Amino acid sequence: MTTWLSPQDVAVRVQAAVPDSVVEATDVALVLDPARLTDCILFLRDDDALDLSFLSNLTAVDRDGELEMVYHLQSLDQNHILTVKVAAGGYDDPRVASLEPLYHGALLQECEVYDLFGITFEGHPDLKRIFLWDGFPGHPLRKSFLQMPGNLTAGLPGFSHESGDNDWPVPGSVEERPVHPNQAARTNTVPVPGDPPVVQGGDA
């Protein structure tokens, strides 16, 4: 059975190897200081006892405006796994050091996070938006992204490199189809009394 390493125990060793790097060590994850991220991960990867040489998962979570990177590092030989988190910043220009020089498998996962959250990874050789196109307004997985900004209709108004050579509708000029009353009333979650109301609107 893969053991989930206790972040508190690992924090002691990490703190000893790279001073001032552990922000907090909860039951769930080891939270590191963004400035010392690369040194800590290098230690975690190359240490003989920990041997966390396999990057299992790399993703981000938007905790209500505070973006946070989550890494799951695993050792195949020792068969244990550790959750590492690092704060990436707010919506304005969040940046984190890239793990691609350490784990080549972070290449595409970091592109995905950049595309969907907007976090820039410093040191990544080829950071680009892999799912959405370059001119896409906003980063969809942020909690503030609730509809297409600027009253754009859904779907492609045109490719970003083309210039008016097609007959796609100009953004904002398409009349909204009248929404059926049943559909307007339906939200996709079953409302439960006492839950906070769903917030509409907001910018990218």
Binding site for other proteins (CB under 8 A): 1-2, 28, 51, 53-57, 59, 61-62, 70, 72, 75-77, 79, 83, 103-109, 112, 116, 129-133, 140-141, 145, 187-190, 192, 195
Instruction: Quickly list DSSP for 83-129.
Output: EEEEEEE-SSS-EEE-STTT-TTHHHHHHHHHHHH--EEET-TT---
Phi, psi dihedral angles at 3 (to 5 degrees): -85, 140
Tell me which residue of 162, 107, 104, 159 sits closest to 132, measured CA to CA.
Answer: 159
Burial class (CB in 10 A: 0-12, 13-18, 19+), 59: middle
CB of 188 to other proteins, least distance (A): 4
CB of 83 to other proteins, least distance (A): 7
In this structure, is the dihedral angle defined by the CA atoms of residues 17, 18, 20 and 22, taken in order, positive or negative? negative
Q: Which is nearer to other proteins, 43 or 145 (CB)?
A: 145
Q: Which is nearer to other proteins, 13 or 72 (CB)?
A: 72
CB of 147 to other proteins, least distance (A): 11
Q: Which is nearer to other proteins, 176 or 195 (CB)?
A: 195
Provide the H-helix boundaries in the chain: 7-17, 37-46, 106-117, 181-185
CB of 20 to other proteins, least distance (A): 26
CB of 25 to other proteins, least distance (A): 15
